[in-house]
Structure 1
Amino acid sequence: MSEYRHAAARPPVAGPWIIDTRDLGRRAGSSRAYRRTVPAAGLGLRDVIAVPEGGSVELDLLLEAVVEGVLVTGTASTVVEGECSRCLEPLSAEVEVELTELYAYPDSTTDETTEEDEVSRITDDLIDLEPVVRDAIVLALPQVPLCSPDCQGLCVDCGGKLADLGPDHGHETIDPRWAALQERFGGTRDNPEEN
């Protein structure tokens, strides 16, 4: 009886990523659907591509009680922003990842026979979705984001976007071995008698 009072007196769950599994119960086969929007600014690859300020992740999940714990399946979707790694143009993309994660009950066979980082765990009847969702989204992001697969990037000489400069764009380069002669005699390659 005192154990029941202690559980009922427990403070409410804190944080949008935390789900209390007490209302699911431990009877294998029971399930519960969760739809939730959680703030996620900065989630992604920092300074490359990530959820922008004020951004969020939409969670559409099913929690199922199984013998060894709670199986979480569903999707997480968000919008990420960054810049093209070739031409530096801003870009935005929608990302949706599939989730399947077992959260092991304390003292279950899975809990006792796996290393700490091999399986997620239920702590005080709570599961923390953030690490699993964060890892899944980061793994789905391109490490080298591109505005388009055929992006040509920037001109190495003037910094202009090659797609905008056209096929005739170019810069005259002088062989460094001739540059000293040009400086000494003062002409240019186009007009050697300028001096």
Structure 2
Amino acid sequence: MSTHRPTPGHPDPASPWVFATRELGRRPGNMRTYTRRIDAPAGPIPLGVDAIAVPPGAPIELDVRMESVTEGVYVSGRAHAPVSGECSRCLDELSDEIDVALSELFAYPDSVTDETTDEDEVSRVVDEMVDVEQIVRDAVVLALPLAPLCRDDCPGLCPDCGEKRADLGPDHGHETLDPRWAALRERLPAE
């Protein structure tokens, strides 16, 4: 039994992130819409940032429109997915959903755009296919907060005891004594 292995740098036609553009032709104005449900990739690079990300295997809903334009294929649409992580103040687990807009030109080979831009400046149509995984990753990462919060007014943790301030009473506090006065305190009678 042989398994299909994509050529490095070429889209894998078996990948759910890859869309064929052959039906569009190269006639500007031709358009196709697609809806796909894709499992978030599992691997060393999460779909998100350290504190919050789309969990591996979580469903990502893609609604994309591909339109043939003079210089390539313009991909637009939306991606919707659940996200989970931890609050940057109290460290509680949190979950939410994210909905991001997608917008990218994939340049045709030998087009003016292809010839006048560096390899990493614009996406490319390769073998009449476009791979949208990187544009989804970029949109998700840019939309996620770097310091997610369980709620806007999360009070965080007490810096002295490490307990959640939300669980502590309003009179919670820790006496801090300047170490230079510690010897004097030992000589004073306790109240």
- TM class, shorter-length: 0.7 to 0.9
The code of the aligned residue for 1:29 comes to G
**Structure 2 CA distance for aligned equivalents of residues 97 and 65 of structure 1:** 22
Match of 1:15 in 2: 15
Count of residue pairs brought into register by the alignment: 176
Q: Percentage identity across aligned positions?
A: 60
Correspondence 1:34 to 2:34: yes
Deviation at 1:23, TM superposition (A): 2.0
- Gaps (5+ residues) in structure 2? 1-11
**Structure 2 CA distance for aligned equivalents of residues 107 and 136 of structure 1:** 27
Match of 1:45 in 2: 49
Tell whether the 8 Å contact from 2:39 to 2:56 is kept in structure 1 after alignment. Answer: no
**Structure 2 CA distance for aligned equivalents of residues 90 and 180 of structure 1:** 44
Q: What TM-score does the superposition give when structure 1 sets the normalisation length?
A: 0.84
**Structure 1 CA distance for aligned equivalents of residues 174 and 30 of structure 2:** 69
Match of 1:128 in 2: 131
Match of 1:145 in 2: 148
Q: Give the superposed CA RMSD.
A: 1.6
Tell whether the 8 Å contact from 2:40 to 2:47 is kept in structure 1 after alignment. Answer: yes
**Structure 1 CA distance for aligned equivalents of residues 56 and 64 of structure 2:** 24
Match of 1:5 in 2: none
- Gaps (5+ residues) in structure 1? 1-11
**Structure 2 CA distance for aligned equivalents of residues 25 and 131 of structure 1:** 23
Deviation at 1:84, TM superposition (A): 0.4
* Structure ranking higher on relative contact order (CA contacts 8 Å, 6+ apart): 2
Deviation at 1:166, TM superposition (A): 2.4
**Structure 2 CA distance for aligned equivalents of residues 53 and 14 of structure 1:** 19
Deviation at 1:101, TM superposition (A): 0.6
